[in-house]
Amino acid sequence: MILVTGGAGFIGSNFVLDWLAQLDEPVLNLDLLTYAGNLENLSSLEHDLRHIFVKGGIGDTKLVPELLQKHKPRAVINFAAESHVDRSIHGPEDFIQTNVVGTFHLLESVRAYWAGLDEKAQSDFRFLHISTDEVYGTLGANDPAFTEATPYAPNSPYSASKAASDHLVRAYHHTYGLPVLTTNCSNNYGPYHFPEKLIPLCLLNAMNGKPIPIYGDGQQIRDWLFVKDHCSAIRRVLADGKLGETYNVGGWNEKANLDVVNTLCDILDELKPRADGLSYKAQITFVKDRPGHDRRYAIDATKIERELGWKPQETFETGIRKTVIWYLENQPWVANVASGDYRQWLNKQYV
Ligand code: NAD
Ligand code: DAU
């Protein structure tokens, strides 16, 4: 089996669902169920014996070694993290605890487990760390896209904590020979995306008649990748990635935030027109910019395409349409996540 951490979050749950839809290898899913973890994402696996869920933290130095000894996974895929840049600006400490200290403890637990395996199991074992393009910092309008050789220059507490975790993973390979792989991916979007992030937040606010908040001038650029394409890239890297290497993953879809939101509004205008006949664009509101806001990210995904034969299946246009339809068809999920703590976050960030 494989051990997935953070498998109740946005990308992790998509990964677990896709994995079990395509393969028969069981998944042990370790997730602390913070505000971002949601077992409802995995409700279709309720009676599936191939999915074992355990509530707990990657930094738990008693639980993790016990789980490793009991289930003897052949790989660990580490999605678990605090992931939202704005939250890292309000309160960086959780990011240091989970992304840096948590990853360190996880690496230590895995190193001890791996050292006790026989030679064949040791050489087959993989620790795959899921990271982000944000570790590379920001680009000017005409700069070339990030490659795996771009120096790290993280600008937010979130990206700094992810960079630190990437360095630890690298060091555990270099120093101890732990068989690690790292992926650095661009902005994901798709089903089960928690509505603190741009695309689901704007969709929910649009549908609820609320302002659609655009930071600053809305001309910041991100590269967007449909989450299922990220999941297929992770499967490719796990299967054939070269030990100790990093792989950039991206969709060749650079878009300014305002263009992304305009596209969302166009699709909503077509699929669920406003009662008053106006476009949802009427709800777009420019708000205070994010402190230290990175201007542009762009991913050069040549290496994973050339060496591992991976390519995204969705264009931005097909992926974003699927996403809007998913949110329209999954109103109970939306209603459940948009309650409780979530409202407090909106008040803190936007009021
Ligand atoms: P998310 O916030 O939706 O999910 C994170 C999950 O980790 C949650 O289920 C949460 O409960 C769990 N978690 C948090 N702390 C934990 C701990 N100490 N122990 C165990 N579980 C814990 O995040 P996401 O968007 O799904 O991102 C997953 C990973 O991918 C992160 O490492 C993130 O840095 C990386 N990433 C995200 C994106 C993106 O666009 N969302 C892009 C590139 C990389
Ligand atoms: O690049 C990969 C990263 O993408 C991941 O590592 C992070 O985990 C993930 O959260 C995401 O980070 P971003 O900061 O790019 O995503 P977010 O959805 O928060 O913001 C996308 C862009 O939209 C960014 O330029 C800020 C802007 N924005 C965001 C929100 C929430 C707005 O203009 N208004 C908003 O209300």
Nearest atom in ligand 2 to the alpha carbon of residue 349 is 36
Give the Å distances, CA to CA, from 46 to 17, 153, 329. Answer: 12, 42, 21
* Pocket of ligand 2 from Cβ distances under 6 Å: 83-85, 132-134, 186-187, 197-198, 201, 213-215, 220, 222, 257, 290, 297
Domain containing 303 equals 2-192+224-253+295-312
Tokens of 229: 């394409």
The ligand minimizing its distance to the Cα of 194 is 1
Tokens of 298: 């762009």
List the chain pLDDT tens, one digit each, 351 residues. Answer: 999 999 999 999 999 999 999 999 999 999 999 999 999 999 999 999 999 999 999 999 999 999 999 999 999 999 999 999 999 999 999 999 999 999 999 999 999 999 999 999 999 999 999 999 999 999 999 999 999 999 999 999 999 999 999 999 999 999 999 999 999 999 999 999 999 999 999 999 999 999 999 999 999 999 999 999 999 999 999 999 999 999 999 999 999 999 999 999 999 999 999 999 999 999 999 999 999 999 999 999 999 999 999 999 999 999 999 999 999 999 999 999 988 788 888 889 997
Classify residue 346: in a domain, yes or no: no
Enzyme catalytic residues: 133-134, 158
Q: What is the pLDDT of residue 152?
A: 98
Classify residue 249: in a domain, yes or no: yes
Classify residue 81: in a domain, yes or no: yes
Nearest atom in ligand 2 to the alpha carbon of residue 185 is 2
CA 13–ligand 1 middle distance (angstroms)? 10
Classify residue 109: in a domain, yes or no: yes
Give the Å distances, CA to CA, from 344 to 179, 197, 337. Answer: 42, 15, 12
Q: What is the pLDDT of residue 342?
A: 87
- Residue 264 CB neighbour total at 10 angstroms: 24
Classify residue 137: in a domain, yes or no: yes
Give the Å distances, CA to CA, from 128 to 104, 181, 242. Answer: 14, 5, 11
CA 198–ligand 2 middle distance (angstroms)? 6
Verify whether ligand 1 is closer than 6 Å to residue 5 (CB atom). Answer: yes
Q: What is the pLDDT of residue 351?
A: 76
Classify residue 329: in a domain, yes or no: no
Residue of 85, 99, 159 with the most ligand 2 atoms within 8 Å of its CB, for mutation: 85
Q: How many domains does the chain have?
A: 1
Minimal-distance CA residue to ligand 1 atom 35: 131
- Reduced to 3 states (helix: H, G, I; strand: E, B; else coil), residue 213 is strand
The CATH number for 68's domain is 3.40.50.720
Q: What is the pLDDT of residue 281?
A: 98
Round to whole Å and give the CA distance between 55 and 68. Answer: 14
Classify residue 343: in a domain, yes or no: no
Verify whether ligand 1 is closer than 6 Å to residue 80 (CB atom). Answer: yes
Classify residue 113: in a domain, yes or no: yes
Verify whether ligand 1 is closer than 6 Å to residue 58 (CB atom). Answer: yes
